[in-house]
Amino acid sequence: MAEKDCKQDEKRYKERVMAIKDAIELLGGKWKFCILFNLYDSGTMRFKDLQKNSVGITPKVLSNELQELEENLMITRTVNNTKPVTVSYKLTEHAKEVEPVINALINFGLKHRDKIQGK
């Protein structure tokens, strides 16, 4: 019985390690959290605005990231019937699950900066 408990614990443990790995595979890299934060904060954004707000990203890289996010069903891409053409990006419902991660990340980042500067 104790052994069974142990194995169940181990199973739960591995599940969580795998969950982390899954999440990182989806959200990893230098820019994805930043992009998702922008969308989370503003609702809908266009390519240019995302580029401006992400501070430093080039169009090629932004384009890549957006495609990956779209493939993973984290954002939707809508072409607007304007002239010239504009494109809107927004989060899917599913992507809203990352909000807690982003908030936690911001929190950590702010505290960490204080820590470093406080020295």
Residue ranges in contact with a second copy by CB under 8 A: 13-24, 26-30, 33-34, 37-38, 41, 53-55, 73, 94, 97-98, 100-113, 115
For residue 23, the surrounding DSSP H or E stretch is helix 2-27
Environment class of 39 (CB within 10 Å of its CB; exposed 0-12, middle 13-18, buried 19+): buried
Cα 27 to Cα 92: distance, rounded to the nearest angstrom: 15
Query: C-beta of 115: minimal distance to a second copy in Å?
Result: 6
Three-class secondary structure of residue 72 per DSSP: coil
Which of the listed partners (a second copy, DNA, none) does 75 bind, with a CB threshold of 5 to 8 Å by partner kind? none
Q: Residue 98: count other Cβ atoms within 10 Å of its Cβ.
A: 20
Query: C-beta of 74: minimal distance to DNA in Å?
Result: 15
CB nearer DNA, residue 8 or residue 23: 23
Which of the listed partners (DNA, a second copy, none) does 87 bind, with a CB threshold of 5 to 8 Å by partner kind? DNA
CB nearer a second copy, residue 81 or residue 117: 117
